[in-house]
């Protein structure tokens, strides 16, 4: 097996090395239909084809974690597993890599794919609450969790009744979370989401312009885009300071950071960190903040 590392991923990320396609096919035979030689004559898949990426994800989740059932409804977001895992591992670093179900994590916008709770439960044994506004996605996520008995006891999916709230309506009185996390809807309109999708497809060399890469409109956009969504989250977090340890969220545009850091100063967050992540050329980051005095780790 090739051990060529994928540049920049977290050292504990088990998807750092190149995919071993013959082994993935052995683990998940339907994968065979999508594996073809690439321009260099190596086994690969068409990463611009959501169906191929879905088959890859099913094989990876089976091989890495023994998860037998993972799927998404037609048109819903198909997450890249290595990148999603990286957020989980960097979160673990924030809490000194503590393991076990007493570590409680709130995933805001868990999606139909429920990917963060699945990875976090498998990697660290953490317990999760996945909150979701989209009722189709929520129902799907619940079904996914129930069909994987190894993690079913660790993951609960709850409805978020309001698209402009993150914590209210989900966190119960006196409930405590060590971490909150979020991959926010980042576009400001449905039109922007469609344009972004097509750009992504072109970058991947896809020729399927007009075809949805994966992601329902509601998954990809919200009023005011990412900046407004995260600002609302920061403002709301003040009222949940005693319920949660670290609040965190992905920030897709680094240009948004100064304004978000300003909001955090206004809200008097006691500690703020920007955690940079990278996968090859692709850079991403999440913002983390907390309130209250904490002993040095
Ligand atoms: N976590 C998944 C899905 C991210 S897409 C992944 O990383 O692949 C963003 C998700 O947030 C969508 O499923 C959308 O329906 C949901 N969402 C949008 N606003 C929300 C809110 N205020 N509370 C909870 N979920 C929300």
| pLDDT tens, position by position, 101-150 | 999 999 999 999 999 999 999 999 999 999 999 999 999 999 999 999 99
State the Cα–Cα distance between residues 297 and 180, nearest whole angstrom: 19
The mean pLDDT value of the chain amounts to 90
* Ligand 1 atom 22, closest CA: 163
Residue 187, pLDDT score: 77
- Tens of pLDDT along 63-100? 999 999 999 998 888 999 999 999 999 999 999 999 99
* Ligand 1 atom 8, closest CA: 79
Tell me if 129 sits within 8 A of 170, measured CB to CB. Answer: yes
Neighbours of 256 (CB within 10 A): 17
Distance 26 CA to ligand 1 centre (A): 33
Residue 61, pLDDT score: 98
Sheet with 104-108: list strands edge to edge. 155-159, 127-132, 104-108, 177-182, 244-250, 282-290, 271-279
- Tens of pLDDT along 3-28? 455 679 999 999 999 999 999 999 99
Classified as helix, coil or strand, 181 is strand
Residue 74, pLDDT score: 87
* Ligand 1 atom 26, closest CA: 109
CB of 88 closer than 6 angstroms to any ligand 1 atom = no
Residue 210, pLDDT score: 38
* Ligand 1 atom 1, closest CA: 110
Tell me if 107 sits within 8 A of 286, measured CB to CB. Answer: no
State percent of the chain over pLDDT 90: 75
Identify the weakest region by mean pLDDT among 175-184, 190-199, 207-216, 282-291.
207-216
Neighbours of 213 (CB within 10 A): 22
CB of 117 closer than 6 angstroms to any ligand 1 atom = no
CB of 77 closer than 6 angstroms to any ligand 1 atom = yes
Has residue 297 got a pLDDT over 70? no
State the Cα–Cα distance between residues 55 and 159, nearest whole angstrom: 28
CB of 222 closer than 6 angstroms to any ligand 1 atom = yes
Q: Which two tokens stand for residue 62?
A: 């089976």
State the Cα–Cα distance between residues 137 and 12, nearest whole angstrom: 29
CA dihedral 240, 246, 67, 211 (to 10 degrees): 80
**What is the number of the ligand 1 atom nearest to the C-alpha of 112?**
13
Statement: the pTM of the whole predicted model exceeds 0.85: yes
* Ligand 1 atom 19, closest CA: 163
- Tens of pLDDT along 180-206? 999 998 777 777 777 666 666 666 655
Probe residue for ligand 1, chosen from 132, 170, 228, 232 as the CB with the greatest number of ligand atoms within 8 Å: 132
**What is the number of the ligand 1 atom nearest to the C-alpha of 77?**
8
Residue 149, pLDDT score: 97
Confidence of residue 218 (pLDDT cuts 50, 70, 90): low
Ordered structural domains, the chain, with CATH:
2-16+74-290 (3.40.50.150)
Residue 100, pLDDT score: 98
Distance 137 CA to ligand 1 centre (A): 9
* Ligand 1 atom 16, closest CA: 109
CB of 108 closer than 6 angstroms to any ligand 1 atom = yes
């Amino acid at each position: 097996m090739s051990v060529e590392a994928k540049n920049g991923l977290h050292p504990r990320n088990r998807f750092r090395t190149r995919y071993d396609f013959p082994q993935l096919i052995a683990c998940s035979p339907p994968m065979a239909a999508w594996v073809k030689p690439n321009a260099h004559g190596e086994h690969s898949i068409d990463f611009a084809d959501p169906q191929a990426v879905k088959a890859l994800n099913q094989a990876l989740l089976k091989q890495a974690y023994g998860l037998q059932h993972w799927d998404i409804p037609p048109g819903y977001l198909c997450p890249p597993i290595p990148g999603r895992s990286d957020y989980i591992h960097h979160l673990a670093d924030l809490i000194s890599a503590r393991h076990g179900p007493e570590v409680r994590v709130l995933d805001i916008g868990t999606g139909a794919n429920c990917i963060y709770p699945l990875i976090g439960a498998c990697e660290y044994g953490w317990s999760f609450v996945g909150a979701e506004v989209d009722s189709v996605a929520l129902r799907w996520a619940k079904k996914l969790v129930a069909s994987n008995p190894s993690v079913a006891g660790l993951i609960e999916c709850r409805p978020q009744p309001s698209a402009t709230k993150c914590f209210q309506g989900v966190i119960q009185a006196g409930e405590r979370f060590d971490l909150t996390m979020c991959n926010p809807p980042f576009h400001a309109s449905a039109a922007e989401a469609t344009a972004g999708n097509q750009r992504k497809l072109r970058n991947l060399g896809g020729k399927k312009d007009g075809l949805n890469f994966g992601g329902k409109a509601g998954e990809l956009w919200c009023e005011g885009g990412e900046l407004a969504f995260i600002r609302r989250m920061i403002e709301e977090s003040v009222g949940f300071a005693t319920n949660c340890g670290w609040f965190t969220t992905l920030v897709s545009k680094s240009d948004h950071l100064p304004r978000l850091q300003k909001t955090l100063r206004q809200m008097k967050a006691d500690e703020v960190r920007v955690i940079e992540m990278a996968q090859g050329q692709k850079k991403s980051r999440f913002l983390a903040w907390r309130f209250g005095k904490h002993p040095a780790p």
